[in-house]
Structure 1
């Protein structure tokens, strides 16, 4: 998988001065657009679109400083419709406008070309299984919240605390299959997975029961799920589990992620210091 991802990065580099289609990159990497975007963000730490923007403006900066082409020619060559649009983008990355950079020879920022490799530490074992589930309902309460990569998410904490205990008991009583009990669910995330982007957060259960009219509900189609187990410090161990799934497990296994809610069943210790968790990620096998 990583070899094919690096082939896609080579293609991207050769076509920085053209419109880069994610579909082409995904095809080279022999995966879906959805999974390609998620893999890239997990491995690179920035969204694909932001990386492309930074690389283009790094290459453009070298041309600006060389002084051999007009700023408008450089802008058009790198996909900007006007010198003004190019100037705004240039300033957002480099801190100065292209004209000033050319006049003064200002120090500019550079986005290095990326390639990926898998570093095997061998210090931990990722416990997982792949299982098929029939269609089910996700039932509970949901809210739109910002994404937080590390530490507690204040919006989620406030939302969960706002649900009255009787409603929580009613929701939990609907649970009739794995993952059992209350689950924390992430859905409709921004493709970039960038800090501060929004997602639908559910405090609910997985059930085959008919959803009550006064609760939020969503049908989930049948499919395969990869189930990962984790134990450790709360909440860091849970957040690192998501990262490890996309940076370690997917590159080494013949599966890719598919659209769908991600289910987390977490049991936090009484002192709030540790948690045992199961993370359910919707997956599909990569065609041979």
Structure 2
């Protein structure tokens, strides 16, 4: 399925369920990626988190209901997912800067969040340095963290900070193999294709590549080994200050590169490689679209 079509179908699902339950798992299945990757992709394309977009769309539609219907405020609140009129009133005032009751009793100015529509755009403002590689199977050693997809953006930076403080990074440095994917790895795995609200985030280094010249690095105490199959990887250079350097790559990847590449996302983790002197790589597994 066409990538842009998938994204627009995910928006269709959101619109059809504003007055009901919206499942992040269903959204990600429609888009053909994990919950975490869809949230990340959405934030780069829309310049706002998925949760904020859904909340803003619901409050936009709630304002229309107040203007154009005689429904009770409590019924409108329940319709758009608020458990009480007080909770709805607080959210409504925070978004529109007026009380819901004022909409019917006064002439007020309201805010509108328009429905998103994805289109292919070719800006050509910044080039991307990348390569497509058929990479053999490989293994990494590291520490797995269970992370709720809804809080991943807040929790993952804390994982890195704690790893420097508790000596994990020092142990990596002392036993650092010179294998690719190179450097310290941040791997977003699990929760694939919308099957879970929880994902695995693995802090690791590459311990083995399926090559006759490669020696298997022994797994350090307290760490686990994770294996990944041979695959096609789009590897993007993301050099520069963090986090802006990687954020820029993701935004260009989802908005420009992927829609025009002839590839689609593969069901494998996204790997971020952190090396010395502000050098980074982003590894994204892809497969050729059928018929291309």
What's the TM-score once normalised by structure 2's chain length?
Answer: 0.70
Distance 1:228 1:22, change over 3 A: same
- Say whether the 8 Å CA contact 1:225–1:280 is kept in structure 2: no
Match of 2:219 in 1: 211
In 1, the alpha carbon distance for the partners of 2:129 and 2:221 equals: 39
Alpha-carbon deviation of 1:48?
2.5
Q: For residue 240 of structure 1, what is the aligned residue in structure 2? A: 248
1:89 matched to which residue of 2?
91
* Equivalent pairs, count: 266
> What corresponds to 2:175 in structure 1?
171
1: CA distance, partners of 2:20 / 2:159: 40
C-alpha contact 2:135 2:231 (8 A) present in aligned 1: yes
**Conserved? CA contact 1:16–1:52, under 8 Å:** yes
Contact 2:187 2:272 in 1 (8 A): yes
Residues 286 and 51 of structure 1, relative CA distance in 2, 3 Å threshold: farther
The superposition leaves residues 34-70 of structure 1 with CA deviations (integer Å, 9 ceiling, x where unpaired) of 3544432331122323212210110101222346222
Q: Kindly state the Cα deviation for residue 117 of structure 1 after the two structures are TM-superposed.
A: 1.9
| Aligned CA distance change for structure 1 residues 114 and 146 (closer, same or farther; 3 Å) | closer
Q: Distance in 2 between matches of 1:82 and 1:100?
A: 18
Aligned to 1:73: 75
Partners of 1:97 and 1:189 in 2: how far apart?
42
Task: Measure, in 2, the Cα distance between the counterparts of 1:179 and 1:201.
Answer: 14
**Would the aligned equivalents of 1:16 and 1:78 in 2 still touch at CA under 8 Å?**
yes
Distance in 2, matches of 1:251 and 1:25, equals: 18
Deviations 1:235-264 (A, max 9, x none): 443442233223322333422154535231
Contact 1:140 / 1:205 at 8 angstroms: preserved in 2? no
Q: Distance in 2 between the 1:122 and 1:27 partners?
A: 30
TM-score, normalising length: structure 1: 0.71
When the two chains are superposed, the root-mean-square deviation of aligned CA atoms in Å is 4.0
> Of 257, 264, 269, which residue of structure 2 is paired with 1:255?
264
- Aligned pairs (5 A) from 1:1-288: 1-22=3-24, 24-26=26-28, 28-29=30-31, 31-34=32-35, 35-66=37-68, 68-123=70-125, 124-139=127-142, 147=153, 160=164, 163=167, 167-172=171-176, 175=177, 177-180=179-182, 182-187=183-188, 202=203, 204-208=204-208, 209-213=217-221, 216-224=223-231, 226-230=233-237, 232-235=239-242, 236-253=244-261, 254-256=263-265, 258=267, 260=269, 262-268=271-277, 275-283=278-286
**Most deviating of 91-100 and 156-165:** 156-165
